[in-house]
Structure 1
Amino acid sequence: MITIIAAAAENRALGKDNDLIWHLPDDFKRFKQLTTGHYIIMGRKTFESFPKPLPNRTHVIITRQKNYDAPNCIVVSSLKKAIALCPSDENLFIIGGGEIYAQSMDIAHKIELTRVHHSFEADTFFPEIPESDWILHHEEYHPKDEKHKFDFTYQTYLKKNIP
């Protein structure tokens, strides 16, 4: 199964200057819980936004750069190659950035989206989720609190017609 996992604002903002715009500890915990032990596919800029590779996950990095060096990671030149290199029985998670998310919308089976209830200035955005292709299967609202500056909702979308 191919799952897109992201946190996006009301205006679909993902980040700015290769960094997150908000800090939601519960969302980080959920991301870790869902992706640990699995393959995570990302663009080079997303990978470079981490201080180090995320533990207990197989990193697949997509880049146009020849000879890109990322020790203990798989480096490929396209999303198609990234998916082809992963075991067919494995749960794959597409973790960003905006361009990789856009390329993944047609092939993904599921979207795990954290919708941050605010609009932000950003330079990277999550693609539109076409209602003709996706159905909102589940959502769970979380109000802001002392650890979370913004309200947010976990949303699970399922593809209507799985490719």
Structure 2
Amino acid sequence: MSDDVCKIVHFTLLEAPLMRLSIIVAMDDNQLIGKNNALPWHLPADLGYFKKVTTGKTVLMGRKTYESIGRPLPNRRNVIVSRNTNFKADGCEVVSSIDAALKLAKDDSEVMVMGGASFYEQMLPSVDRLYITQIEGEYQGDAHFPKFDRGKFSEVSRESHTADEKNQYTYHFTILDRI
């Protein structure tokens, strides 16, 4: 990641000190998050958790993540960051930089970064909170969450669930706050 990205994100966050910048992500034990621009698993409980945590908030995403969803997420402000200045998406705001995305949401109390992998990598050094759905096991895929130092975060909460008839994987909802 370039130093310019860090400076831009840092500067913007100083302009909006009341905003909490958060990442929401589901990953396996190897930090796998995607396969062919889709989730490598079907976990209804995680989809419900994602909806609960993000509803009413601004969600930031890269273009590929938006294209994998195919529509704006309801009851959320959808902001897409794309270098393609011609990219348009009905019901979404499209900006060409992280700085522009954060300026749009500067008055929000919490902004949710929802992927993809390269967007997570750019945003991770600046986030205050991580909402992680940890899915036990190792699965096949091609996109991973970036490595990060868990020692720089404190676990705020953890909710564990075993596999059942609706959710075929054991999983944990964990919230980490930057120390």
User: Normalising to structure 2: TM-score of the pair?
Assistant: 0.85
Matched position secondary structure for 1:5:
strand
Matched position secondary structure for 1:67:
coil
Q: Give distance in 1, aligned partners of 2:88 and 2:39.
A: 24
Equivalent in 23, 38, 41 of residue 19 of structure 1 = 38
Counterpart of 1:115 in structure 2 is 134
- The alignment status of 1:149 with 2:164, answered yes or no, reads no
Counterpart of 1:100 in structure 2 is 119
Q: 1:87 offset after TM fit, Å?
A: 3.1
RMSD between aligned residues: 1.1
Matched position secondary structure for 1:29:
helix
Q: Give distance in 2, aligned partners of 1:29 and 1:3.
A: 18
- The alignment status of 1:31 with 2:50, answered yes or no, reads yes
Q: Which amino acid aligns with 2:76?
A: R
Counterpart of 1:68 in structure 2 is 87
Cα gap change, 1:54 to 1:89, in 2 (>3 Å): closer
Equivalent in 138, 142, 146 of residue 157 of structure 2 = 138
Counterpart of 2:67 in structure 1 is 48
Counterpart of 2:25 in structure 1 is 6
Matched position secondary structure for 2:121:
helix
Q: How many residues align?
A: 160
Q: 1:131 offset after TM fit, Å?
A: 2.6
Q: 1:88 offset after TM fit, Å?
A: 2.7
Matched position secondary structure for 1:105:
helix
User: Normalising to structure 1: TM-score of the pair?
Assistant: 0.93
Deviation per residue, 1:80-133 (Å, 9 max, x gap): 221111133331000000111111111111000000001112111111231332
As a proportion of its length, which structure holds more helix? Answer: 2
Q: 1:22 offset after TM fit, Å?
A: 0.6
Q: Which amino acid aligns with 1:151?
A: T
Q: Which amino acid aligns with 1:19?
A: A
Q: Give distance in 2, aligned partners of 1:17 and 1:149.
A: 21
Provide structure 1 residue ranges, at least 5 long, that are not aligned to the other structure. none
Deviating beyond 3 angstroms after TM superposition, the runs of 4 or more aligned structure 1 residues are none
Provide structure 2 residue ranges, at least 5 long, that are not aligned to the other structure. 1-19
Matched position secondary structure for 2:86:
coil
| Contact map agreement 1:39 1:90 (CA 8 A) in 2 | no
Matched position secondary structure for 1:49:
helix
